[in-house]
Structure 1
Amino acid sequence: MSVATDAPVLDLDCEHLFTVEELRWRDRVREFTAKHITPVVDADFEDRHFRLELVRGLGELGVLGMHLEGHGCAGAGAVSYGLACMELEAGDTAWRTFVSVQGSLAMTAIAKWGSDEQQRRWLPGMAAGRTIGCFALTEPDGGSDPAGMRTVARREGGDWVLNGAKRWIGLGSVADVAVVWAATEEGVRGFVVPTDTPGFVPRDITNKLSLRASIQCDLSFEDCRVPADAVLPGVIGLRGPFSCLNEARYGIVWGVMGAARECLRAAVERSTSRRVFGRPLAEFQLTQQKLADMAVEYQKGLLLALHLGRLKEDGRLAPAQISVGKLNNVREALDIARTVRTILGGDGVTSDFPVMRHMANLESVRTYEGTDEVHALVIGQALTGHRAFS
């Protein structure tokens, strides 16, 4: 299944499975990535630089909250969104992550669970890239255990006062608004918190060896006071953040295939141009075995993503099915990156090729929005009816 006309992969002739509109989204995002991301991303990764000036361009492109309707959002289909994620991550995971945090997490929380006033206030600017959002759920002591969150919000007069800490929060130090999840006497609630609120304190995590062209932060809330209408009125409990996480996980299923595609492209090009023992590396059987195995897994991953996308558009996509996609596609994309590195030899660890950058980024993707272990247990529960984690 070739989704890029020049992609060096086995062509299963599936282009006809996409609509004209879906292919239009793919091509527009591919062009943006080729023009604005690919030429600078190696330097940005090296320098730990998030290119903030691209945010408005992504808003103009229409990809911010593109799966949502109204308030300036594109109202695109699930497959169109998936293809956009794939093209962005082919450039770098940092940019698919940005679109995911902004649209699948922060904007989705406000669109699904926010009041009309919250939606009118925040969503148009976020869709246009004038306003940046973040989504504060993960905490220092338990990314996979949100039910045990220690960040709390208590009522004080007509206000809410937040205290606690979050970790690995994408965009926290550049965001204008944060969707913060906190424990209350009623259960877990979401709060829409402008980041200039006193007591909201972001700190960049600077020692990352992955996602270096992105921003992740520690957040602390020190008597952070917000008005009563800051709470998301539409949901109480973990159903709220989990519904947003499923949107983000769905985008990951597609996105990582973009990283895998670029690694596979590098392997084919290098193996056909590099000569060893007097002939091209690609002539050796072991090399062809590696390339064939990677191409098969890449194709399978894309077909799985497409199937999940059609289920989503039909309103039939279950959380366990998303877990199948996230677990399989991230795992296989990372395995492809590692195998490609062996074909590239020592040069594979240099920035002459995108492979080590993608490999490092995929290690983060394998952890965030649910680890392999968590998704395996979700699938296990769906198979057996027994819940193996608390």
Structure 2
Amino acid sequence: MSYQSVDQIQKALTESVFHYAKDSKKAAGRALGTIVEIITFYALKSWGLERNIAIEKPLPEFGNDDITHNVEYSLHPSTHLTKVAFEANQLPITAVKMAKNQSLIRHQISKNTIKSHALLSKNLILRNSCTIYDGFEIFVNAYLDSYTKDGGQYSIVSLRRRPFAIFECKRVGVEEGMRKGPQTIEKAKQGAYVARTVSSLQKIRLIDGSMGGLIQKQNGAFRHGDYYELMAEIIASNDKELLSRFILTVGVVSNHGNWFTSENHNKELKVLAQSYDWLLFLTDAGIAQFIEELLLNPTNELLMVKEAFQISYTGEKGVNQFTKVKILLSADIALQSYFNTNKKNIEAWFNVIAPAGKRLVVLSEELNTLKSKKWW
């Protein structure tokens, strides 16, 4: 890679993109956090999970609905409802317009539950995982299938409220001249708390230092054993009592002088590794390759990604079109092509910290197994 560390990447972005900002280093650091989220999102899309993804949905703790936590990405059981074709002159494709579709009438949607945003704006800004309306047990999302200058098509799906998996991205920058970011351990603890409180499968530290698992059935009986063996049993099972409130928790961390490396764990990384079911380490080399090939020196096919990034960071408000929620459509198409074409290489950007000895392909298989359950 052209840069030896994320620090060098951040300095390059500070000089080439964020020179206008009052605190250009901090602005570049925030952008790096967005890049980690985008890499995670498009990796999930390349695994065929887009129609299950919700973004920043509140997730209640297990057995305690009074406390909810927003997570970057949650993966929900999904039921296809319909596909809808539209013409270019019908833009924007708003939630209000989509809610009038015949396939949604049976849901008896109340107007105050319909969202105000658009799946695709007149300026061709795409909203990822666009929620049309929220119900109690379900919510309904729209996902863009295709678009040309004449028009396009989108899919409407119904998503079960309770997810089967969550993904959270954690990254903390370091102030100039400091060894550690002041909020590093607090962010690690925050992520660890969420990971340990949302699923029905509970972690228990055993006297020998190993991790035990405990899950309760509706009749009050408990299942217990080695945590990862019990987790694998639940994922493979069709037992609705075990599956109904189980959530696979995945953390994605990136280095910036705080997490050290995937081989050399500091306190914060150890806290996260013992809390998430899976903890993935997004390497400096992976972030550097993404920035080099898509944001700094892209090919002509990927040029729109760079343009969307640059437009988003000019110092003006309301122009951001490079986030996990909203992205320029042409940049989205280019990113999907890049991630699908380079899937194996991109998977190598992630080192698996926990469970020890497991490969990323196992996580992909577990997610697709959970996706395929008869949740309804």
User: What is the TM-score of this pair, normalised by structure 2?
Assistant: 0.29
Q: Which structure dedicates a bigger proportion of its chain to helix?
A: 1
Q: Which structure dedicates a bigger proportion of its chain to strand?
A: 2
User: What is the TM-score of this pair, normalised by structure 1?
Assistant: 0.28
